[in-house]
Amino acid sequence: MAQAKRPLSPHLQVYRFGAHMAVSIIHRITGSALAFGAILLTWWLVALAAGHEYFNMVQDFAGSLLGRFVLFMITFALMQHFASGIRHLFMDAGKLFDLKSNTATAKFTFVFSVVMTLVIWAAAYKVMGRL
Protein backbone atom coordinates (compact mmCIF):
# COMPACT_ATOMS: atom_id res chain seq x y z
CA MET A 1 0.00 0.00 0.00
CA ALA A 2 1.37 3.41 -1.00
CA GLN A 3 0.31 4.91 2.33
CA ALA A 4 2.72 2.71 4.26
CA LYS A 5 5.67 4.51 2.62
CA ARG A 6 4.78 7.90 4.01
CA PRO A 7 7.49 9.23 6.31
CA LEU A 8 6.74 9.19 10.04
CA SER A 9 8.06 11.78 12.46
CA PRO A 10 11.19 10.67 14.37
CA HIS A 11 10.44 8.47 17.32
CA LEU A 12 12.13 7.42 20.58
CA GLN A 13 15.34 6.10 18.98
CA VAL A 14 16.54 9.54 17.84
CA TYR A 15 16.40 11.18 21.28
CA ARG A 16 18.81 10.88 24.18
CA PHE A 17 17.18 9.21 27.17
CA GLY A 18 16.46 11.41 30.20
CA ALA A 19 13.96 12.07 32.99
CA HIS A 20 11.76 14.10 30.64
CA MET A 21 11.56 11.13 28.28
CA ALA A 22 10.94 8.61 31.05
CA VAL A 23 8.08 10.69 32.46
CA SER A 24 6.46 10.98 29.03
CA ILE A 25 6.65 7.25 28.30
CA ILE A 26 5.47 6.36 31.79
CA HIS A 27 2.55 8.80 31.45
CA ARG A 28 1.23 6.69 28.60
CA ILE A 29 1.96 3.37 30.29
CA THR A 30 0.31 4.44 33.57
CA GLY A 31 -2.63 5.89 31.63
CA SER A 32 -3.17 2.57 29.89
CA ALA A 33 -2.73 0.70 33.19
CA LEU A 34 -5.41 2.92 34.73
CA ALA A 35 -7.83 1.72 32.05
CA PHE A 36 -7.35 -1.72 33.60
CA GLY A 37 -7.93 -0.11 37.00
CA ALA A 38 -11.20 1.32 35.65
CA ILE A 39 -12.34 -2.20 34.77
CA LEU A 40 -11.56 -3.29 38.35
CA LEU A 41 -13.45 -0.30 39.80
CA THR A 42 -16.45 -1.21 37.61
CA TRP A 43 -16.29 -4.81 38.80
CA TRP A 44 -16.17 -3.59 42.41
CA LEU A 45 -19.18 -1.25 41.94
CA VAL A 46 -21.17 -3.99 40.20
CA ALA A 47 -20.31 -6.32 43.11
CA LEU A 48 -21.43 -3.73 45.63
CA ALA A 49 -24.75 -3.35 43.80
CA ALA A 50 -25.12 -7.14 43.46
CA GLY A 51 -25.27 -7.76 47.21
CA HIS A 52 -23.10 -8.60 50.18
CA GLU A 53 -22.35 -12.21 49.25
CA TYR A 54 -20.74 -11.42 45.90
CA PHE A 55 -19.21 -8.23 47.30
CA ASN A 56 -17.46 -10.18 50.08
CA MET A 57 -15.96 -12.51 47.48
CA VAL A 58 -14.57 -9.55 45.52
CA GLN A 59 -13.28 -7.94 48.73
CA ASP A 60 -11.52 -11.19 49.66
CA PHE A 61 -9.81 -11.20 46.29
CA ALA A 62 -8.86 -7.51 46.65
CA GLY A 63 -7.41 -8.27 50.08
CA SER A 64 -5.34 -11.24 48.89
CA LEU A 65 -1.61 -10.85 48.28
CA LEU A 66 -2.11 -10.67 44.50
CA GLY A 67 -5.08 -8.32 44.91
CA ARG A 68 -3.12 -5.97 47.14
CA PHE A 69 -0.14 -6.03 44.78
CA VAL A 70 -2.37 -5.08 41.83
CA LEU A 71 -4.09 -2.32 43.84
CA PHE A 72 -0.71 -1.03 45.04
CA MET A 73 0.57 -0.79 41.47
CA ILE A 74 -2.65 0.93 40.38
CA THR A 75 -2.28 3.43 43.22
CA PHE A 76 1.24 4.18 41.98
CA ALA A 77 -0.01 4.46 38.37
CA LEU A 78 -2.76 6.86 39.48
CA MET A 79 -0.38 9.08 41.46
CA GLN A 80 2.27 9.08 38.71
CA HIS A 81 -0.30 9.86 36.00
CA PHE A 82 -1.81 12.54 38.27
CA ALA A 83 1.56 14.26 38.85
CA SER A 84 2.84 14.03 35.28
CA GLY A 85 -0.61 15.01 34.01
CA ILE A 86 -0.45 18.25 35.99
CA ARG A 87 3.10 18.79 34.69
CA HIS A 88 1.78 18.32 31.15
CA LEU A 89 -0.95 20.90 31.78
CA PHE A 90 1.77 23.43 32.68
CA MET A 91 3.65 22.50 29.51
CA ASP A 92 0.46 22.91 27.48
CA ALA A 93 0.33 26.45 28.88
CA GLY A 94 3.85 27.03 27.55
CA LYS A 95 5.67 26.68 30.87
CA LEU A 96 8.48 24.37 32.04
CA PHE A 97 10.29 24.28 28.71
CA ASP A 98 13.67 25.40 29.99
CA LEU A 99 15.95 22.43 30.53
CA LYS A 100 16.43 22.93 34.25
CA SER A 101 12.79 23.17 35.40
CA ASN A 102 11.72 20.59 32.83
CA THR A 103 14.13 17.98 34.21
CA ALA A 104 13.51 18.94 37.83
CA THR A 105 9.72 18.64 37.55
CA ALA A 106 10.07 15.38 35.61
CA LYS A 107 12.10 13.91 38.46
CA PHE A 108 9.74 15.37 41.03
CA THR A 109 6.75 13.48 39.58
CA PHE A 110 8.47 10.20 40.54
CA VAL A 111 9.23 11.40 44.07
CA PHE A 112 5.62 12.55 44.41
CA SER A 113 4.10 9.29 43.15
CA VAL A 114 6.30 7.02 45.30
CA VAL A 115 5.74 9.09 48.44
CA MET A 116 1.98 9.47 47.84
CA THR A 117 1.53 5.76 47.14
CA LEU A 118 3.20 4.92 50.46
CA VAL A 119 1.22 7.64 52.30
CA ILE A 120 -2.09 6.38 50.84
CA TRP A 121 -1.37 2.77 51.81
CA ALA A 122 -0.14 3.70 55.28
CA ALA A 123 -3.29 5.81 55.79
CA ALA A 124 -5.54 2.96 54.58
CA TYR A 125 -3.85 0.47 56.94
CA LYS A 126 -4.15 3.01 59.75
CA VAL A 127 -7.91 3.40 59.04
CA MET A 128 -8.26 -0.40 59.10
CA GLY A 129 -6.44 -0.46 62.45
CA ARG A 130 -3.69 -2.65 61.07
CA LEU A 131 -0.83 -0.19 61.51
Among 52, 68, 104, 115, binds other proteins (CB under 8 A): 52
- Cβ burial, residue 71 (10 Å; 0-12/13-18/19+): middle
Name the residue nearer to other proteins (CB basis): 42 or 101: 42
Query: Does 21 help bind other proteins (rule: CB under 8 A)?
Result: no
Q: How far is the CB of 41 from other proteins (least distance, A)?
A: 7
Q: How far is the CB of 119 from other proteins (least distance, A)?
A: 9
- Cβ burial, residue 91 (10 Å; 0-12/13-18/19+): middle
Query: Does 32 help bind other proteins (rule: CB under 8 A)?
Result: yes
Query: Does 123 help bind other proteins (rule: CB under 8 A)?
Result: yes
For residues 126 and 30, give the distance between their C-alpha atoms in angstroms, rounded to a whole number. 27
